Amino acid sequence: MTPSSSLPLVMSPEVAAAHADGAPIVALESTIITHGMPWPQNVETARAVEAAVRDAGAVPATIAVVAGVIRIGLEPEVLDRLAQARDVAKLSRADLAVCLARQGTGATTVAATMICAARAGIAVFATGGIGGVHRGAELSFDISADLQELAQTPVTVVAAGAKAILDLPKTLEVLETLGVPVIAVGQSQFPAFWSRDSGLDAPLRMDAPEMIAASHSMRGALGLPGGQLVANPIPASAEISAEALAPLIAQAQAEAEARQITGKAVTPFLLQRLFELSHGRTLEANIALVLNNARLGAAIARALAKG
Ligand code: PSU
Ligand code: MN
């Protein structure tokens, strides 16, 4: 094959039609499917999240790289195959071009999904939790590329805060340094993924999707690069208290250190161990919060589409 610099990006017919009509679209990531949840709950959740976006009046666009092509919107068979595949690559900003050049297949993290969504003209992306500053980062330097991406790619990301397995105060500090607006919804505290309250105040609060859409547009008008982090607390009925989780997190963290798990493997390892240690409760909470984020993402996308 001759080297080409044109971007291999294909929208599904449904997403292409929505794009042509200026209809609201919500991007969804695929690493949560391949590395964040076990099969078959991963594919069931991916389908339920797409349905939640549709029910809320927007078109879902799940994003992955399949055989060297960025796919914006996955057909059900493609989603199924990805969800069951083993050893799928986890693609962040650093990996995307290499995977495409090799005609490879991989799941996109928050950072890579933002890049692909922006290239496809999609402004809103809903997920579970973003990557952040890991505990012990002062020694390991483990800081997710998701944070830098929020500073440079203009996509509004709806998440339930950052996972409690991270160092949340340091994560908020880095986001502040990078100039990323962190906007809590419906409360002033920064949520902690499985729990509604991290014990930390979010720097900003906006309760109306229309206002979140307006501030997204205003960043564009200001010529600012980067997006917004919308921190949407898990529904009260689904939350797990921070006190119940703390010992499980400490145990999972200690195991990761003892087994010298590093780099990309850290987040999937911790999520899987917490799933086991909590007898599945973290997964139930994870599913509930992603659905909740999908609905808010759709409302923001609708407000943006209205202009
Ligand atoms: N939140 C989840 N499950 C996940 C992730 C987040 O509940 O699988 C993924 C997202 O794709 C996020 C990535 O971008 O973990 C962060 O990985 P790292 O810390 O290696 O940057
Ligand atoms: Mn990392």
pLDDT tens string, the chain, 307 residues long: the values are 455 679 999 999 999 999 999 999 999 999 999 999 999 999 999 999 999 999 999 999 999 999 999 999 999 999 999 999 988 999 999 999 999 999 999 999 999 999 999 999 999 999 999 999 999 999 999 999 999 999 999 999 999 998 878 999 999 999 999 999 999 999 999 999 999 999 999 999 999 999 999 999 999 999 999 999 999 999 999 999 989 999 999 999 999 999 999 999 998 999 999 999 999 999 999 999 999 999 999 999 999 999 8
Report residue 30 as tokens.
Answer: 């695929």
Report residue 281 as tokens.
Answer: 């409760």
Cα angle vertex 302, ends 25, 292, to 5°? 80
Which ligand places an atom closest to the C-alpha of 270?
1
Q: Which numbered atom of ligand 1 lies nearest the CA of 110?
A: 14
Contact in structure between 110 and 18 (CB atoms under 8 Å): no
> How far apart are alpha carbons 271 and 256 in whole angstroms?
11
Q: Ligand 1, from 127, 267, 282, 289: best to mutate by most atoms within 8 Å of Cβ?
A: 267
Distance 299 CA to ligand 2 centre (A): 31
Q: Which of 186, 121, 184, 110 lies closest to 151, judged by CA?
A: 110
> How far apart are alpha carbons 240 and 108 in whole angstroms?
27
Tell whether ligand 1 has an atom less than 6 A from the beta carbon of residue 110: yes
Q: Residues near 265 by Cβ (< 8 Å), separated by ≥ 6? A: none
Q: Which numbered atom of ligand 1 lies nearest the CA of 129?
A: 1
Q: Which domains does the chain have, with CATH numbers?
A: 9-306 (3.40.1790.10)
Which ligand places an atom closest to the C-alpha of 126?
1
Supply the residue whose CA is at minimum distance from atom 6 of ligand 1. Answer: 129
Q: List for the chain the helix, strand, coil content (%; round to 5).
A: 50, 15, 35
Is 173 designated active site? no
> How far apart are alpha carbons 123 and 109 in whole angstroms?
16
Distance 142 CA to ligand 2 centre (A): 5
